[in-house]
Amino acid sequence: MTAAVSHALLTIAADFGAAGDVDQLCARFSAAVASVGTFHFALGRFGPNMLRAEEVIFVHYPEAWQRHYHANDYIKIDPTINAIAHRDIPYSWAELGDLDAAQRRLLDEARAFGVVTGLTVPIHMTDGTTFVASFGADDVDALHRARPFLSMISAQFLERYKALAATPKSPIRLTPRERDCMTWTARGKSAWEIGMLLGISENTVNFHVKNACAKLGSNGRMLAVVSAIMLGVISP
Q: Does 170 reside within a domain?
A: no
- Tell me: do 37 and 150 sit in the same domain: yes
Decide which of 164, 195, 222 is a domain's last residue. 164
Shared-domain flag, residues 118 and 225: no
224, amino acid identity:
A
Domain hosting 201: range is: 176-230
138/195 same-domain check: no
**What is the reported pLDDT for 191?**
94
Same domain, 54 and 104: yes
Q: Which of 125, 29, 40 is nearest to 84 (CA)?
A: 125
* 228 against 192, higher pLDDT: 192
236 in a domain, yes or no? no
Beta bridge mates, 130? 46, 124
In a domain, 23, yes or no: yes
Is the domain of 117 the same as that of 193?
A: no
Residues 188 and 118 in one domain: no
**Does residue 1 carry a pLDDT above 60?**
no
How much is the pLDDT for 50?
A: 53
Is residue 235 included in any domain, yes or no? no
Residue 10 lies in a domain: yes
Q: Is the pLDDT of residue 170 over 70?
A: no
- The per-residue pLDDT for range 107-125, each reduced to its tens digit, is 999 999 999 999 999 998 8
User: Is 171 within a domain?
Assistant: no
How far apart (Å, rounded) are the C-alpha atoms in residues 186 and 175?
A: 16
Same domain, 125 and 186: no
In terms of domains, do 138 and 103 share one? yes
The confidence score (pLDDT) of residue 224 equals 80
Tens digits of per-residue pLDDT, 71-119?
898 988 999 988 888 888 999 999 998 899 999 999 999 999 999 999 9
Domain end marker among 137, 164, 191 = 164
CATH number at residue 182: 1.10.10.10
160 & 220 share domain: no
Task: Identify the pLDDT of residue 226.
Answer: 73
> Tens digit of pLDDT for each residue in 13-56?
888 888 888 999 999 999 999 999 999 999 998 877 655 666 88
Q: Is the pLDDT of residue 220 over 80?
A: no
Residues 13 and 27: their CA atoms lie apart, in Å, by 14
**pTM, two decimal places:** 0.73
Overall domain count for the chain: 2
Per-residue pLDDT of 181-206, as tens digits, reads 999 988 888 999 999 999 999 999 99
Where residue 82 sits, what CATH number does that domain have?
3.30.450.80
Asked, for residue 169, whether it belongs to a domain, the answer is: no
Rounded to whole angstroms, what are the CA distances from 236 to 38, 71, 128? Answer: 30, 6, 27
The whole-number pLDDT of residue 142 equals 95
Whether 42 and 141 share a structural domain:
yes
Regarding whether 220 and 132 lie in a shared domain, the answer is: no
Average pLDDT over residues 127-152: 93
Residues 211 and 160 in one domain: no
Q: Which residue has the higher pLDDT, 4 or 31?
A: 31
Q: Residue 130 contacts by C-beta under 8 Å, 6 or more apart in sequence?
A: 45, 46, 50, 84, 85, 122, 123, 124
